[in-house]
């Protein structure tokens, strides 16, 4: 990613003006003169406005040491021109080039406290931030930043919640109920629109929201009562995008104001379409067979990703990743943010997922704009970037320029999307002018499984163009897509990143028609919340020549496809059903009957390893990689993942193979089942395909001796329904070590395992033990009834079980004869009524073994 900033600096030192002098004003004018910001100082108090749009309104900041909203005296003003040129990995426009005029106003306040006000203005709007220049710690207790909106100005507002998933409302600035509203907020003031937003928020500060007192004045309220940081402190930008709706929707101002990319090489960041099963079938992420079916579907249609949401299990994910990658599909995994909220978890979990071959993460439920949560973003972002793991933040804050600074963030939720199972056309037509302006929006579109909707099929398909997201999670069952072949054909062609974006027509709450370009193809798509009629889109943006226009729209009996030849300056007229939509692909006309490009799956290959399994610390492995038919494939490389001399072929044709032999060793200190992968990598149609097969080597740990507590033994494997298995503590919550003393019906047990159904723990006995005993039951820490069953297995054979135990039941003594057992597995299931509150204790879990 490239970034260039050029600046011309002009410094004007002004004498101190007395605090009681009234009427001082300065302007900062955009390079093209389209926007003029006005800064005022009256009786020592600052104001900010934009000529012709936003009247002057009070601004300022308070710290624990000084009130910098009053008693201010100007010391000097400096000015410069800032040019920002940079490239994004996703978004409405990949290549960005903007010029801003900047002025810095330096003030002193009571007691000599210092404040800089930095104002930037571009053709798209204006922004300001506060800079507290001093060194040392500083605590901000609040801002007096505000925007004065005419009371009768139409407004599109989002009642504030920390996950930004409330329903948008259309009102007026003055009639909006008193309370908090989330960014961005849109107002129409006369014939001009103003969208208020934030940019450049990180752990030095907290996120803000707009607070309306009921009079049309909107002030900035911070998520925390106070924020503390080391100086000098630069606050986030307070942003106003102003202009017509085309200016607002096309604006990149929140990105332009954000820090430059912190990642030099972004070649590994890969946007794309994602098949996602959770919305249409919540239980499917726990089913590896079903997930492989989604992989097969994605492979057939060349969708690059499958997202496995909540419910996945470490016991089968690595092999599912291998299965997917061999078919040209990468796996994304869901995680609750608390699984990554400590340095220890990040240092353990992230490398493990990377070693499995996972391409990216959906991290969920942050649900806070507080400074502590932004400090967590500051930690997770470089940690994931270092491992080349892409990210989608769900249950998250709204975009504030993060995708520029950390371009591996491909999308954020912060929207009441299709997963709420209630879709309304009127709301859908608000998002292009508000939430989606500021960054990628993970709405999860095109969902016929959402039956509570008033949108047409063409409206649903059009969302995948109208809504911008670097990962476009197409959220229905793949069988539903296959029963809509015309829709699926279009979805297979639609890009997710764009070289250009233009609003052609629309109005929030009524309609939106956008044109987006990817390479030499344009896509025009529209959604409506109006009665049946038609829409007309001017094609003046097209280059000269003839263009094939293929339109997918609602017909009398389902989706229909129509084609025509058009030229620059023609008008594209499309009939619309009530609450309907359309998608038109435009490509240079060459005589072909369609704009579609071939969708060719990755060729089927075979990788075998011999032996597939072994025991010990070293193993001699022979691997053969075969292309049975088709091809050719090029730049073929076969080698162990951990290193070794590769065997290579410049080209393999159908029926040809590549074979290599290596002596592999398990990592020092490893115990249990260790996978030693062999990897074949090749190039096909410009893409790199990764095929992997692992030799599973078992390294036995020392067998237990004498009387041994299970919680003191190393785990060969573990899975748990919520968080990790806990040793000598109850399950607690999501994080490791957050449990309580193991307690069953009031009795505390110092030793044992705390689990959450469904769970399994396997330990090595090595045929050295004769008996296992434990007290089992639902831990007292749960506040609602849970139900579980406990099972003991030896080398996969059932040895003992409890039947269903409930929260009120006494502790159940469980014993098993483990004579001759090499692997002991302790399993917990959910009792048949779901896993909620199923905190299952293996209290006093003990083994009697030979020796001492």
- At 789-831, the pLDDT tens digits run 999 999 999 999 999 999 999 999 999 999 999 999 999 999 8
- Residue 292, exposed/middle/buried by CB under 10 A (0-12, 13-18, 19+)? middle
Tokens 């000084």 correspond to what residue? 66
What is the side-by-side strand order in the sheet with 471-474?
409-412, 390-393, 360-364, 330-336, 305-308, 272-276, 471-474
Concerning whether 364 is annotated as a catalytic residue, the answer is: yes
Query: What residues contact residue 667 under an 8 Å CB cut-off, 6+ apart?
Result: 674
Query: How is domain 707-849 classified at the architecture level of CATH?
Result: Sandwich (2.60)
Contact at 8 Å (CB) between 200 and 194? Answer: no
What is the CATH code for 3-256? Answer: 2.70.98.10
CA distance 516 to 378: 32
Average pLDDT over residues 649-658: 97
CA distance 147 to 364: 32
CA distance 659 to 381: 40
CA distance 159 to 432: 18
pLDDT band, very low/low/confident/very high, at 851 (cuts 50, 70, 90): confident
CA atoms within 13 A on the CB side of 166: 16
Q: Strands, E, within 589-643: which ranges?
A: 606-610, 613-615, 618-627, 633-640
Query: What residues contact residue 787 under an 8 Å CB cut-off, 6+ apart?
Result: 778, 804, 805, 806, 807, 830, 831, 832, 833, 838
Query: What residues contact residue 368 under an 8 Å CB cut-off, 6+ apart?
Result: 162, 223, 397
- 3-class state of residue 255 by DSSP: helix
CA distance 316 to 319: 6
CA distance 690 to 679: 7
611 prior amide bond cis, ω within 30: yes
pLDDT band, very low/low/confident/very high, at 852 (cuts 50, 70, 90): low
DSSP 8-class letter at 427: H
**Would the pLDDT of 138 be above 60?**
yes
Count other C-beta atoms under 10 Å from residue 382's C-beta: 13
What is the side-by-side strand order in the sheet with 54-59?
24-29, 36-42, 45-50, 54-59
Catalytic residue among 116, 369, 419, 457: 419
| Residues pairing with 536 in the sheet | 573
pTM: 0.91
The reported pLDDT for the residue numbered 734 is: 77
Share of the chain above pLDDT 90, in %: 92
Residues in the chain: 852
The reported pLDDT for the residue numbered 783 is: 86
pLDDT band, very low/low/confident/very high, at 11 (cuts 50, 70, 90): very low
**Would the pLDDT of 8 be above 80?**
no
Helices 343-356/371-386 angle, 10° precision: 40
Q: Give me 619's structure tokens.
A: 């193993």
Catalytic residue among 330, 364, 554, 838: 364
**Would the pLDDT of 14 be above 70?**
no
**Would the pLDDT of 452 be above 80?**
yes
Dihedral sign of CA atoms 700, 705, 708, 712 in order: negative
Share of the chain above pLDDT 70, in %: 97
- 3-class state of residue 426 by DSSP: helix
Q: Give me 248's structure tokens.
A: 């607002």
- 3-class state of residue 742 by DSSP: strand
Q: What is the dihedral of CA 569, 574, 578, 579, to 10 degrees?
A: -60
Query: What residues contact residue 627 under an 8 Å CB cut-off, 6+ apart?
Result: 603, 605, 633, 652, 653, 654, 655, 656, 657
The reported pLDDT for the residue numbered 145 is: 98
Lowest mean pLDDT of 103-107, 325-329, 410-414, 784-788, name the range.
Answer: 784-788
Q: Do the domains 606-699 and 3-256 match in fold? A: no
Give domain limits for the chain. Answer: 3-256, 606-699, 707-849
Concerning whether 344 is annotated as a catalytic residue, the answer is: no
CA distance 179 to 188: 20
Count other C-beta atoms under 10 Å from residue 668's C-beta: 6
Contact at 8 Å (CB) between 728 and 654? Answer: no
- 3-class state of residue 213 by DSSP: coil
CATH assignment of 606-699, given 2.60.40.420, 3.40.30.10, 2.60.40.10, 3.90.1860.10? 2.60.40.10
CA atoms within 13 A on the CB side of 588: 7
Mean per-residue pLDDT of the chain: 95
Instruction: Kindly report, residue by residue over 60-117, the tens digit of the pLDDT.
Output: 999 999 999 999 999 999 999 999 999 999 999 999 999 999 999 999 999 999 999 9
The reported pLDDT for the residue numbered 669 is: 87
CA distance 158 to 415: 10
| Residues pairing with 830 in the sheet | none
**Would the pLDDT of 9 be above 50?**
no
């Amino acid at each position: 990613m490239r970034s260039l900033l050029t600046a011309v600096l002009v410094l004007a030192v002004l004498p101190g003006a007395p605090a009681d002098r009234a009427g001082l004003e300065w302007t900062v004018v955009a390079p093209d003169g389209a926007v003029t910001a006005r800064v005022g100082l009256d009786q020592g108090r600052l104001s900010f406005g934009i000529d012709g749009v936003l009247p002057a309104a009070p601004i300022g900041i308070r710290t624990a040491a000084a009130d910098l909203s009053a008693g201010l005296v100007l010391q000097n003003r400096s000015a410069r021109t800032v040019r920002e040129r940079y490239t994004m990995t996703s978004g409405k426009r990949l290549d960005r080039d903007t010029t801003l005029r900047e002025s810095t106003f330096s003030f002193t306040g009571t007691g000599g406290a210092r404040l800089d006000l930095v104002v930037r203005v571009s053709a798209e709007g204006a922004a300001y931030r506060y800079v507290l220049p001093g060194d040392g710690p500083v605590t901000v207790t609040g801002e007096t930043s505000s925007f004065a909106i005419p009371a009768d100005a139409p407004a599109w507002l989002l009642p504030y919640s920390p996950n930004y998933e409330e329903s948008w409302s259309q009102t007026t600035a003055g009639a909006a109920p008193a309370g908090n509203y989330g960014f961005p907020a849109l107002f129409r003031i006369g014939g001009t629109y103003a969208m208020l937003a934030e940019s450049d928020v990180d752990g030095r500060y907290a996120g803000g929201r707009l607070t309306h007192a009921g009079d049309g004045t909107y002030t900035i309220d911070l998520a925390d009562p106070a924020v503390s940081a080391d100086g000098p402190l630069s606050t986030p930008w307070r942003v106003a995008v102003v202009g017509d709706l085309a200016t607002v929707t096309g604006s990149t101002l929140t990105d332009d104001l954000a820090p430059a990319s912190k990642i030099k090489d972004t070649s590994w960041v890969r946007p794309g379409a994602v098949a996602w099963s959770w919305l249409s079938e919540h239980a499917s992420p726990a089913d590896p067979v079903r997930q492989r079916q989604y992989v097969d579907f994605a492979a057939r249609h060349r969708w690059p990703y499958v997202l496995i949401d909540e419910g996945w299990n470490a016991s089968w994910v690595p092999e599912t990743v291998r299965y997917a990658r061999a078919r040209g599909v990468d796996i994304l995994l869901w995680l609750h943010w608390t699984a990554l909220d400590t340095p220890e978890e990040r240092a353990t979990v992230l490398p493990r997922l990377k070693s499995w071959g996972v391409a990216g993460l959906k991290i969920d439920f942050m649900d806070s704009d507080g400074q502590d949560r932004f400090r967590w973003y500051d930690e997770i972002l470089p940690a994931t970037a270092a491992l080349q793991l892409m990210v989608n933040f769900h249950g998250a804050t709204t975009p504030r320029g993060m995708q520029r600074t950390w371009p591996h963030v491909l999308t954020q939720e912060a929207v009441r999307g299709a997963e709420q199972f209630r879709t309304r056309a009127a709301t859908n037509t608000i998002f292009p002018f508000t939430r989606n302006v500021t960054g990628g929006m993970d709405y999860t579109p095109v969902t016929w499984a959402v039956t509570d909707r008033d949108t047409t099929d063409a409206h649903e398909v059009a969302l995948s163009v109208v809504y911008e997201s670097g990962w476009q999670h197409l959220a229905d069952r793949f069988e539903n897509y296959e029963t809509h072949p015309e829709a699926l054909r279009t979805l297979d062609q639609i890009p997710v990143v764009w070289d250009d974006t233009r609003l052609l027509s629309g109005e929030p709450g009524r309609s939106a028609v956008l044109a987006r370009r990817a390479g030499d193809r344009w896509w025009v798509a529209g959604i409506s919340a109006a009665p049946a009629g038609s829409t007309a889109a001017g094609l003046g943006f097209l280059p000269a020549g003839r263009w094939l226009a293929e339109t997918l729209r609602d017909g009398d009996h389902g989706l229909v496809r129509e084609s025509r030849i058009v030229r620059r300056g023609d008008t594209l007229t499309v009939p619309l059903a009530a609450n309907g939509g359309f998608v038109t692909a435009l490509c240079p006309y060459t005589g072909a009957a369609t704009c579609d490009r071939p969708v060719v799956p990755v060729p089927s290959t075979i990788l075998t390893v011999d032996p597939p399994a072994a025991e010990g610390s070293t193993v001699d492995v022979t691997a053969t990689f075969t292309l049975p038919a088709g091809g050719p494939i090029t730049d073929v490389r076969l080698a162990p993942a951990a290193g070794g001399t590769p065997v290579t072929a410049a080209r393999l044709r159908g029926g040809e193979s590549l074979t290599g032999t290596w002596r592999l060793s398990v990592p020092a200190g490893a115990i249990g089942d260790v996978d030693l992968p062999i990897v074949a990598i090749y190039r096909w149609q410009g893409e790199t395909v990764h095929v992997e097969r692992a030799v599973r080597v078992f390294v036995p740990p020392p067998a237990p001796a004498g009387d041994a507590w299970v919680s003191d033994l190393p785990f060969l494997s573990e899975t748990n329904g919520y968080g990790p298995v806990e040793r000598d503590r109850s399950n607690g919550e999501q994080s490791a070590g957050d449990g309580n003393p193991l307690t069953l019906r009031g009795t505390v047990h110092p030793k044992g395992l705390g689990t959450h159904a469904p769970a399994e723990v396997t330990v090595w006995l090595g045929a050295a033990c004769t008996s296992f005993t434990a007290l089992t039951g639902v831990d007292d820490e749960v506040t609602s009834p849970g139900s579980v069953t406990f099972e003991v297995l030896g080398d996969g054979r059932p040895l003992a079980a409890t039947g269903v135990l409930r929260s009120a039941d006494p502790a159940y003594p469980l014993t098993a004869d483990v004579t001759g057992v090499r692997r002991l597995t302790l399993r917990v299931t959910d009792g048949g009524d779901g896993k909620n509150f199923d905190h299952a204790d293996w209290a006093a879990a003990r083994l009697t073994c030979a020796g001492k």
